[in-house]
């Protein structure tokens, strides 16, 4: 099932709603033209999937970030060996994690705002895990019980500030530095990613990151276990699983697209803040 959050494109009066995207994806991972959205009563994270007798054509709605993290976005650093190497880092012995404030989250098509404090803002295409319920100390073998689904993320990073500060908070914490979407796929499990799914980033149409989720150093259950052994996870919290090699700079006016096979693609443009 593909869970979306949307607003009605022609009416700013109506509150955003959740829905289920119904239809096939084309060869580029985009929903086919006849796709429709069946609206849901409330947020499925809290009330389950309750279909309403209300449908919209995809072209009549604007897709929003499919989840608003209740408390946090947990980023995982250096979880692909070739990416660790390209920035001159060793692969960590344990998962290396950091927080992005939930105010970094934007949706598909929303602008990434280039902050004046940085001259080197990078894209990082990533697979994101959405947590379904309150949990802590989750054993590896129980991780799938607390996963709502999977979506795409761009862990936008001010690389110069990351080097300068020696920590990640400012570099990864600017408003708009966590595009999420376009929907949450609930029918996959960690093995689907361990088996290898293409994870790619295109910058202005050019392929700049081309990895496989089978190259994750710490797999998804291991990440859920480690993070939840430190901090309680809440419904709607998001774990970003790390980026493959090929990170690089963004500039105002650029269009960046993150895709994972089967999860569609997430596109955002860069605008001045």
How wide is the angle at C-alpha 237 spanned by C-alphas 232 and 240, nearest 5°? Answer: 110
At 39, which helix (H) or strand (E)?
strand 36-40
CB of 126 to Mg ion, least distance (A): 6
CA distances from 164 to 75, 239, 248 (A): 19, 25, 17
- Asked if 155 touches Mg ion (CB under 5 A), the answer is yes
3-state secondary structure of 225: helix
The residue from 124, 185, 219, 257 that contacts Mg ion (CB under 5 A) is 124
Q: Which two tokens stand for residue 214?
A: 């089978």
CB of 161 to Mg ion, least distance (A): 14
- Asked if 176 touches Mg ion (CB under 5 A), the answer is no
3-state secondary structure of 46: helix
Nearest to 40 by CA among 13, 12, 18, 69: 18
The H-assigned helical ranges of 108-266 are 159-165, 169-173, 190-194, 220-228
Which residue, 155 or 257, is less far from Mg ion as judged by CB? 155
Interface with Mg ion by CB under 5 A: which range of 14-22, 62-70, 151-159, 248-256?
Answer: 151-159
Interface size with Mg ion, residues (CB under 5 A): 3
Which residue, 186 or 209, is less far from Mg ion as judged by CB? 209
The residue from 154, 241, 243, 267 that contacts Mg ion (CB under 5 A) is 243
Which residue, 213 or 243, is less far from Mg ion as judged by CB? 243
CB of 157 to Mg ion, least distance (A): 7
Q: Which spans of this chain sit near Mg ion (rule: CB under 5 A)?
A: 124, 155, 243
């Amino acid at each position: 099932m593909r869970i979306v959050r949307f607003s009605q494109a022609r009416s700013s009066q109506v509150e955003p709603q959740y829905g289920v995207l119904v239809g096939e994806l084309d060869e580029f991972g985009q929903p086919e033209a006849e796709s429709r959205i069946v609206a849901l009563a409330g947020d499925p994270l809290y009330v389950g999937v309750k279909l309403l007798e209300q449908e919209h054509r995809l072209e009549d709605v604007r897709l929003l970030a499919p989840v608003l993290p209740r408390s946090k976005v947990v980023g995982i650093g250096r979880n692909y060996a070739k990416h660790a190497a390209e920035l001159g880092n060793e692969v960590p012995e344990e998962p290396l994690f950091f927080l992005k404030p939930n105010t970094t989250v934007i949706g598909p098509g929303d602008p990434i705002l280039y902050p004046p404090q940085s001259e080197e803002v990078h894209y990082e295409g990533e697979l994101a895990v959405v947590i379904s319920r309150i949990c802590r100390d989750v054993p590896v073998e129980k991780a799938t019980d607390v996963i709502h689904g999977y979506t795409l993320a761009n862990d936008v990073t001010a690389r110069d500030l990351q080097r300068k500060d020696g920590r990640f908070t400012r570099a990864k914490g600017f408003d708009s530095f966590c595009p999420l979407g376009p929907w949450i796929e609930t029918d996959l499990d960690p093995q689907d990613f361990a088996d290898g799914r293409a994870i790619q980033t295109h910058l202005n149409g050019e392929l700049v990151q081309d990895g496989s989720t089978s190259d994750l150093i710490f797999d998804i259950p291991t990440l859920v276990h480690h993070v939840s052994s430190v901090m309680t996870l809440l419904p709607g919290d998001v774990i970003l699983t790390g980026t493959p090699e090929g990170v690089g700079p963004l500039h105002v006016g650029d269009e960046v697209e993150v895709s994972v096979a089967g999860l569609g693609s997430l596109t955002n443009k860069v605008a001045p803040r």
